[in-house]
Structure 1
Amino acid sequence: MSGIGMSLRLDRIDLSYTGTPVIADLSLEVRPGEILILTGPSGCGKSTVLRAFAGLLRPDAGQVLADSTQVAGTSRDRAVVFQDNALLPWRTVRSNIELALKLRGEPRAGRKALAERWIEEIGLTGFADFLPKSLSGGMRQRVQLARGLAGAPRSVLMDEPFGALDSQTRATMQRLLVDTWQTHPTTIVFVTHDVDEALLLGDRVAVLGRAGEPLRALLEVPQPRAVGVDRSQLRAEIITALDHSGDLAAL
């Protein structure tokens, strides 16, 4: 990794999706090396904002900045991890990870050993030669995480990556994400509907309102990821912000 991650910033952006306005006049800064959570009701534009950060969607107005440089397209410095696994189905676990290493310019001779190291780190030793179709949903998400980070991005943009997992697998993946992020520091923007997941993972939580509404809240998480800290007051603040948006579906 280069440094501890990049800064990301939205400067008064308007965004639309398939011609429909979704975000209006939104400003938001992501600090280098932090995990920023984006939450809010369905249809408020969380995934649309993530696509703008990734360079997959150009704003109708305003600017998207990465380390103070305007984002004009995708970059290997800004990796994306989606909920629906985007692994190449004809490539094995090792080969999917090796692809990320190839794209970052890693010499061919060292890719296999590096991929094996990632496979061990994500707890999939023995599955290097498996195709994605032979893996469970949680295992595929592990590979996605490894592939996203193996490319040494300075930011990782995650769109509800654990939303389709059962509760036990989801808890395992949450711990794995934090452990991997602490070992390989980068900036993470993480979209979720789940308030408890937001409080578990985030340094800060940004609550978006419905389409066209401004940012509802931007809250610091006290002692992020520390065990035993009472965050009930912050949880209540997030719920109030969601309620103000007219939607408590995140609970």
Structure 2
Amino acid sequence: MTTAGIGLSLDRLRLSYTGAPVIADLTLDVRPGEILILTGPSGCGKSTVLRALAGLLRPDAGTVRADGAEVTGTDRDRAVVFQDNALLPWKTVRANIELALKLRGEPRTGRRALADRWIEEIGLTGFADFLPKSLSGGMRQRVQLARGLAGAPRSVMMDEPFGALDTQTRNTMQRLLIETWSTHPTTLVFVTHDVDEALQLGDRIAVLGRAGEPLRAVLDVPRPRELGVDRTEIRAEIITALDHSGDLTEVPA
């Protein structure tokens, strides 16, 4: 698979809110085309790191780089998908996806056909003219995924996008993400509290410590992703790292 993914790096990063450090001296590389999972206890700064990578938050110290260039603001190469529904409520499914195509410079004459292709790919054929309020949570997340990738970003930051979904829908969305990512390769940085979700999706898993504490571990995940692959050892390593961070309360067994 030829990757279109961008390489991201954090070098001695310090991030804070109201003067209190949330992230202190974090150094971490995200390889082009990989899925890197960020996990850790509540309040450890996972979402804060995501915002810095996207260019939505300027660091107090250290640097964020994308393919070697310092990140100083947002860019079409770095998209964000949040857990909360961020679709434009007055626009249809098709129009929400067409907006991403417009922003990437796609000619108007071809946007409808491309949007319809994305709608088919995410399994929502027949819902192109529906407004977000008429869709289930899982369907809205499908549209958000399509809109996030339709702009052809070279990296996507995903902040617990499936956290509010029921287990069956969540599993379906995980499979859809992998299938879509395989077809439209990009670099993914994915935040989750769920160890099993991390193991299912990630190529590597970075475990953050409590706010202001050092990075606990960066672990490679055995592949392939198919069911039946023994991940007992790596799962135990993740739980040990989380335990050392002092909070396992939100990480399911």
Cα distance in 2 between the residues matched to 1:37 and 1:17:
23
TM value normalised by structure 2: 0.97
- 1:144 match: secondary structure: helix
TM value normalised by structure 1: 0.98
Match of 1:26 in 2: 26
Q: Compared with structure 1, are the counterparts of its residues 3 and 204 closer, same or farther at alpha carbon in structure 2 (3 Å cutoff)?
A: closer
Long gaps (5+) in structure 1: none
Identity of matched residues, %:
82
5 Å-filtered alignment, 1:89-168, equals 89-168=89-168
Match of 2:218 in 1: 218
Cα distance in 2 between the residues matched to 1:192 and 1:154:
21
Query: For each residue in 1:13-37, what CA deviation from the matched residue of structure 2 results, as whole angstroms up to 9, or x when unmatched?
Result: 0001244310000000000000000
Cα distance in 1 between the residues matched to 2:232 and 2:56:
36
Match of 2:177 in 1: 177
Cα distance in 1 between the residues matched to 2:85 and 2:38:
20
Query: For each residue in 1:196-232, what CA deviation from the matched residue of structure 2 results, as whole angstroms up to 9, or x when unmatched?
Result: 0000000000000001111100000011413321001
- 2:65 match: secondary structure: strand
Match of 2:186 in 1: 186
Match of 2:87 in 1: 87
Cα distance in 1 between the residues matched to 2:57 and 2:131:
31
CA contact (8 A) 1:200 1:224 kept: no
CA contact (8 A) 1:202 1:225 kept: no
- 2:189 match: secondary structure: strand
Number of residue pairs the alignment of both structures matches: 250
Superposition deviation, residue 233 in structure 1: 0.7
Indicate yes or no: 2:70 matched with 1:70: yes
Greater shift, 240-249 or 219-228, is seen at 219-228
Indicate yes or no: 2:227 matched with 1:227: yes
Greater shift, 151-160 or 13-22, is seen at 13-22
Read off the aligned partner of 1:219 and give its amino acid letter. L
Query: For each residue in 1:65-110, what CA deviation from the matched residue of structure 2 results, as whole angstroms up to 9, or x when unmatched?
Result: 0000000000110000000010000000000000000000000000
Superposition deviation, residue 141 in structure 1: 0.2
Cα distance in 2 between the residues matched to 1:59 and 1:155:
19
Q: Compared with structure 1, are the counterparts of its residues 202 and 73 closer, same or farther at alpha carbon in structure 2 (3 Å cutoff)?
A: same
Q: Compared with structure 1, are the counterparts of its residues 224 and 10 closer, same or farther at alpha carbon in structure 2 (3 Å cutoff)?
A: farther
CA contact (8 A) 1:36 1:202 kept: yes
Match of 2:206 in 1: 206
RMSD value, Cα: 1.0
Cα distance in 2 between the residues matched to 1:18 and 1:190:
26
Read off the aligned partner of 1:138 and give its amino acid letter. G
Read off the aligned partner of 2:237 and give its amino acid letter. E
Cα distance in 2 between the residues matched to 1:162 and 1:67:
28
Q: Compared with structure 1, are the counterparts of its residues 125 and 18 closer, same or farther at alpha carbon in structure 2 (3 Å cutoff)?
A: farther
CA contact (8 A) 1:17 1:48 kept: no
Q: Compared with structure 1, are the counterparts of its residues 154 and 93 closer, same or farther at alpha carbon in structure 2 (3 Å cutoff)?
A: same
Read off the aligned partner of 1:4 and give its amino acid letter. A
Read off the aligned partner of 2:8 and give its amino acid letter. L
Query: For each residue in 1:96-146, what CA deviation from the matched residue of structure 2 results, as whole angstroms up to 9, or x when unmatched?
Result: 000000000000000000000000000000000000000000000000000
Read off the aligned partner of 1:166 and give its amino acid letter. D
Cα distance in 2 between the residues matched to 1:225 and 1:49:
26
Read off the aligned partner of 2:170 and give its amino acid letter. R
Superposition deviation, residue 4 in structure 1: 2.4
